[in-house]
Each structure stands twice: as structure tokens, then as C-alpha cells.
């Protein structure tokens, strides 16, 4: 990876934590940013969202997206962000990974969570895009995303994606 590669930050966020990290990453790494939004939004109420996400995960359901990011041909490095939902990526990110061929690209996963860290998200992302190079994942606890201690800039330096 080198700094002159074109980057895309693509992410889903239900309650804003992953969005905050995505925006920071975009600010620091440059390139483009795209928020994945399900056509049918998840319930705002926590327990209802948890229940819906559980059903979707057990069915490996890929919710329809409101809009898609378009061609990814120009990008070499794609940051893929999700909240940790039941130990792995959320449904809209499953849809994105199913709809796009990421062969030959570097995928850098970032996850916000409330204790489970990356969980199975990196191995699940890797399984869903086997021909991509998967960079070290970044896990940020949801409660610290708006503080300076989120580790984003250190991680970008480690995976050599700083501008």
C-alpha cells in the first residue's frame, strides 16, 4: 500500500459511532466516502434492532440498500466499516460485500463495538471477498469514538494509509 492510492471509505452506522470513525478516517486518509443505508431502516429502539439483526444474521440476509456506491474500479484501498452486530458485520455491509467484486483490492476493516472488539468481522469479511488483501482491522469502542483516543491515526500509519 502506498499513500498515492485512491481510497474509499464505505460504512454502515445505525447510531452514529461508526459514522464518526468513518468521517475521521476520510479526513485523515482522503479519497471518497459512502454511507450504506438500508432501504428499510432498522428500528431506532435498541432491543428491536437487536432482534431484527439476529434474525437477519441467522438467515444470512442481505438487506436491500437505498443507494449503491457505483463502480469501485478506481479504488485500490477500501475501508469497510460496520458496528459489531452479534459478533460480526451488520447486514448492509454483507449486502455491499455480496454486490461488489473486491478482487485485487486492499480492504481495511474497521468496527465499533461495546466490548466484543472485532469479533468475527475480519474473518467474515475475508470469507466474503477471498481475492482481496485484508489489512489489519481496527476496533474502536463505541463510547470513545468522539474522543482523541480512538486510535484511527495510529492505525492508518500502521497500515500505511496516511496521507
Residues that bind ligand FMN (CB under 6 A): 13-19, 46, 49-50, 53, 83-87, 112-116, 142
Q: Which CB sits closer to ligand FMN, 23 or 162?
A: 23
Distance of closest approach, residue 54 Cβ to ligand FMN, in angstroms: 7
Q: Which CB sits closer to ligand FMN, 18 or 106?
A: 18
User: Residue holding cell 479504488?
Assistant: 75
Q: Which CB sits closer to ligand FMN, 53 or 134?
A: 53
Q: Which CB sits closer to ligand FMN, 31 or 91?
A: 91
Q: Which residue of this chain has its Cβ atom nearest to ligand FMN in the complex?
A: 142
Cα distance between residue 20 and residue 145, in whole Å = 7
Distance of closest approach, residue 163 Cβ to ligand FMN, in angstroms: 24
Cα distance between residue 21 and residue 12, in whole Å = 11
Closest CA to 32 of 22, 43, 41, 40: 22
Q: What is the DSSP string of 8-28?
A: EEEE--SSSHHHHHHHHHHHH
Distance of closest approach, residue 34 Cβ to ligand FMN, in angstroms: 15
Q: Which helix (H) or strand (E) holds 99?
A: helix 91-99
Distance of closest approach, residue 38 Cβ to ligand FMN, in angstroms: 12
Distance of closest approach, residue 130 Cβ to ligand FMN, in angstroms: 24
What's the farthest any 2 CA atoms get from each other in the chain? 43
Phi, psi of 55 (to 5 degrees): -65, -45
User: Residue holding cell 434474525?
Assistant: 55
Q: Which CB sits closer to ligand FMN, 75 or 85?
A: 85
Amino acid at each position: 500500500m502506498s499513500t498515492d492510492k485512491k481510497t474509499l471509505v464505505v460504512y454502515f452506522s445505525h447510531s452514529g459511532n461508526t459514522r464518526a470513525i468513518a468521517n475521521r478516517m476520510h479526513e485523515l486518509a482522503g479519497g471518497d466516502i459512502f454511507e450504506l443505508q438500508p432501504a428499510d431502516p432498522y428500528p431506532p429502539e435498541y432491543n428491536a434492532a437487536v432482534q431484527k439483526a439476529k434474525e437477519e444474521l441467522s438467515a444470512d440476509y442481505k438487506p436491500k440498500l437505498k443507494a449503491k456506491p457505483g463502480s469501485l474500479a478506481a479504488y485500490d484501498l477500501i475501508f469497510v466499516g460496520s458496528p459489531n452486530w452479534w459478533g460480526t458485520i451488520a447486514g448492509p455491509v454483507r449486502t455491499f460485500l455480496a454486490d461488489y467484486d473486491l478482487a485485487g483490492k486492499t480492504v481495511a476493516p474497521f468496527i465499533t463495538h461495546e466490548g466484543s472488539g472485532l469479533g468475527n468481522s475480519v474473518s467474515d469479511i475475508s470469507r466474503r471477498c477471498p481475492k482481496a488483501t485484508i489489512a489489519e482491522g481496527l476496533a474502536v469502542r463505541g463510547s470513545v469514538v468522539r474522543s482523541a483516543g480512538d486510535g484511527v491515526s495510529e492505525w492508518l500509519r500502521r497500515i500505511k494509509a496516511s496521507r
